[in-house]
Chain A
Amino acid sequence: MAILSTPRSAVQLASRGRPLKEHLFRIALLASLAIAIVFLAMLIIYVVEEGWPRLDATLWENQPSIRRPETAGIQSGIFGTLWIIGLTALMALPTGILAAIYLEEYADKSKWYNRLIELNISNLAAVPSIVYGILGLGMIARWMQFGFTIMTGAITISLLVLPIVIISAREAIRAVPASIREGSLALGATQWQTIYRQVLPASIPGIATGSILALSRAIGEAAPFLMLGAATLVRFNPEGVWSSFSVLPLQIYSFITRPQEEFAILAAAAIVVLLAILLLMNSVAIWLRNRYQKRW
């Protein structure tokens, strides 16, 4: 352990008192980082400032209203989003993690079909989300007769995040040193015991982080829901997986197309709520990673 952690401090030592080039390179790195952070900060400041008058309890206590934009809320959108994300997590995470275990631990990489599967998963991760919307509309909503319900939305979003979950879970599983597996097998554990007792626990931080980042991406999606014809004006919370629903990004989109100024403020306030949910999820990811991180 101690041996592996030395290079980091060695790099730090080496970079001290170096020529101008070294400093310029550092400045370039910092500038790149600053661009990302400054823009995020600008976005947050802008929406908080714009949405400030509406950032109160009425926002999540009330339902959207066309007639009273000054007191309209986004409760149905918050609940819709939470339902979709919760159900997506239930469907996509187990499937994705199991698929990743198969690909990393069982699949014979010399076989052409396994390589084909790998290639396709990478391709799927890059497919635009609207295409998944079309798939969901044609296959799940119409052909499977699931209608325009939470279930349809969650299955579609599961398909959307599945490739990302698989890829990140594979990375995490691959990062577990081979010596751990070999040690376990040498002590007489079966392959499944090795995976269940050694590999999975060791890769949980990576899997959890990747999964939550994948879900965070899904939370901001509007395009597949537009395609699925999710209602934009919903004044009730979902009561089950077969309920009609709306999600926050769609509500935000519908608010900004309204002519009244109050809706622009409401949209900004809704964006703040969406960002808050996102930051919350990302901090859970960071917490999980730190909590379970293990150094070999």
Chain B
Amino acid sequence: MTSGQRRLSAVATAALVVSLAAACGGDAKPSGDSTSSAAPAQSSEAGTALSGEIKVDGSSTVAPLTQAASELFGEEQPQVKVPVGTSGTGGGFERFCAGETDISNASRPIKDEEKAACEAKGIKFTELTVATDALTVVVPKENDWATCLTTDQLKKMWEPAAEGKVKTWKDVDPKFPAEELKLYGPGTDSGTFDYFTDEINGEEGASRKDYSPSENDNDIVTGVSGAKGGLGYFGFTYFEENADKLKAVEIDSGSGCVAPSVETAQGGTYTPLARPLFIYPSAAAAKRPEVVAFLDYYVGNINAIAKDAKFIPLNAEQEAKLKADVTALKSQG
């Protein structure tokens, strides 16, 4: 049956053409910057067009900031590629300490065991504080009783001992109504969760487990705004974008009620929930000209980038420290 044979060879030819096209496409650009170990840094032509790839992964909270920086940097250096992953702070450090990324975004400082993992692989790094975030505790608009909560009250809601016991707002404070307390928060992989549990419950990772966790902060927005007794926490940006549905709770850590805002977070009065956000460039990457150029750009325009990406910019003191840190990092190499 020759017609069948012809058909088959037509299909085979088509497959061959496609495979050839793909192979040629692959050959056209031989240095796709393969794995992290072989980073072919283009010979340094500072000031002129750089190329290469700067791999970034880590916190999804910090990612938009680094992404905004890479977008703006791309207008000056279009050949430098900056893929940004969002594996979470912990997941990012895992890859960073395996030598798979050049810069790690983090919404909390590196942990000791992560440091050890980095050391074991001989990966040196510098911690750079690039922006501030105000972890914001939110309740729905119709909640008219909780305008200010003390850190002790928050602990009473969130500590592991509260599990199955603190079920209504009345259990938190007898002055509150007996409305059911519905808690929403980020999942345990998140740096936000680590920071909140550390500051409020006194131990990183210690939290009641019977709350609704979500990796998507928009779910927390939906959850809290849909339940009268709802309460949740996340980064300041998510509150700003949803200020029509949610109310930010003022936090009293012993010296009066302070509302989360750009000013209180920058000025250091919004304690303990104002937190620094970090990037961790590796020392090896910081020897490559495209990474140096990127870091210079990132740090040199840090507050413009932060405002652009709707982050809380650093105060003057923090900014000076950041610039000194970068200078120190560059002089190492």
Q: Give A contacts to B, CB under 8 Å.
A: 65-67, 86-87, 89-90, 93-94, 142, 145-149, 196-198, 200-202, 204, 229-236, 239-246, 254, 256-261, 292
Contact = CB atoms under 8 A, between A and B. Distances in A.
A194 to B, nearest CB: 11
Interface string B1-38: 10011011001000100110010011111101111110
B35 A145 contact: yes
A87 B18 CA distance: 10
B7 to A, nearest CB: 6
B216 A256 contact: yes
Contacts, number: 134
Interface of B: 1, 4-5, 7-8, 11, 15, 18-19, 22, 25-30, 32-37, 53, 55-57, 60, 63-64, 67-68, 70-72, 74, 81-87, 91, 95, 98, 100, 215-218, 221, 237-238, 240-242, 308-309
B40 to A, nearest CB: 11
A145 B34 CA distance: 9
A1 B57 CA distance: 61
A142 B98 contact: yes
A10 B63 CA distance: 64
Given A90-B22, A242-B32, A243-B32, A231 B7 contact: no
A254 B74 CA distance: 21
Given A146-B35, A260-B241, A240 B83 contact: no
A67 B68 contact: yes
B5 A197 contact: yes
Contacts of A261: 241
A242 B35 CA distance: 8
Given A229-B95, A235-B82, A201 B100 contact: no
A149 B100 CA distance: 11
Contacts of A236: 81, 83
Contact of B4 (A89, A202, A259): A202
B71 A240 contact: no
A222 B27 CA distance: 28
A142 B74 CA distance: 29
Contact of A149 (B5, B32, B95): B32
A243 B253 CA distance: 49
B82 to A, nearest CB: 7
A186 to B, nearest CB: 15
Given A142-B98, A147-B35, A231-B83, A200 B8 contact: yes
Contact of A257 (B7, B67, B82, B216): B216
Contacts of A229: 57, 85, 87, 91, 95, 100
Contacts of B35: 145-147, 149
Contacts of A240: 25-30, 32
Given A229-B100, A246-B83, 15 more contacts: A65-B71, A66-B64, A197-B1, A197-B4, A197-B5, A204-B11, A229-B85, A231-B56, A231-B84, A233-B83, A234-B83, A242-B32, A254-B86, A256-B218, A257-B60
Contact of A242 (B34, B83, B87, B241): B34
Given A66-B309, A232-B86, A204 B25 contact: no
B63 A232 contact: yes
Contact of B7 (A204, A241, A260): A204
